[in-house]
Structure 1
Amino acid sequence: MSLNKSELVSAIAAKAEINKSEAEAALNAFQEVLIESLAKGEAVKVTGFLSAERVERAARTGRNPRTGEEISIPANFGVKLSAGSLLKKAVAK
């Protein structure tokens, strides 16, 4: 089972005792701050919950799975997410 965005907004609104539009605005703001920070190369850390950082991926040679032909994959950036201690404890139960 997983929560979609509207279900997450409803759950946040209930926990924080705010209305759904305020919860959605807060979730959207968090998303925007996370994206803007990572785009600038800044790590985002919420102690105990998660950390996100932009990582550089080196250029490499790959293989087309259909043809077996070697292809060149250029250097790029990715995102590394790490679970914090509270999140790890919650899923270990």
Structure 2
Amino acid sequence: MNKQDLVAAVAKRMGVTKARAREITELFFAPSGLIASELRKGGKVAITGFGNFETRKRAAREGTNPRTGKVINIKASNIPAFRAGKTLKEVVNRKRS
């Protein structure tokens, strides 16, 4: 499922136009949306039964430029991460009949 499919599914389930469904979807998932804004502040978004969005610190390290083979320094950074909740894991692992 891509973003377009998600918007169409939201529109169908909620009985709204695709334009309205896109607004709703982007409210949460756009780079300027609620989840990204909270992560940018260093916060965590916990959705019970679904999972947690959080940031993890990645330490500075040395890497290799694949084109030149030269050793380069990579700065420390924060990366977004998602950890699935127990209920979501159970639903995904449930056998189909």
Q: Which ranges of structure 1 fall in alignment gaps of 5 or more residues?
A: none
Paired residues, number: 91
The SS at the match of 1:34 is: helix
Letter in structure 1 aligned against 2:86: S
Q: What does the per-residue CA deviation read over 1:5-36, in whole Å, with 9 as the maximum and x for residues that have no partner?
A: 22111111222233322221111111211111
Aligned to 2:58: 57
Aligned to 1:19: 17
The residue correspondences of 1:1-93 to structure 2 (distance < 5 A) are 3-31=1-29, 32-93=33-94
State the shift of 1:85 in Å. 2.0
The SS at the match of 1:86 is: helix
Instruction: Give the alignment's Cα RMSD to 1 decimal.
Output: 1.6
Q: TM-score, normalised by structure 2?
A: 0.80
State the shift of 1:81 in Å. 0.9
Letter in structure 1 aligned against 2:53: A
Whole-Å separation in 2 of the counterparts to 1:19 and 1:50: 28
- Give the ranges of 4+ consecutive aligned residues of structure 1 lying more than 4 Å apart after TM superposition: none
Q: TM-score, normalised by structure 1?
A: 0.83
Letter in structure 2 aligned against 1:82: R
The SS at the match of 1:48 is: coil
Identical columns (%): 38
Relative contact order higher in (CA < 8 Å, ≥ 6 apart):
1
Whole-Å separation in 2 of the counterparts to 1:89 and 1:70: 44
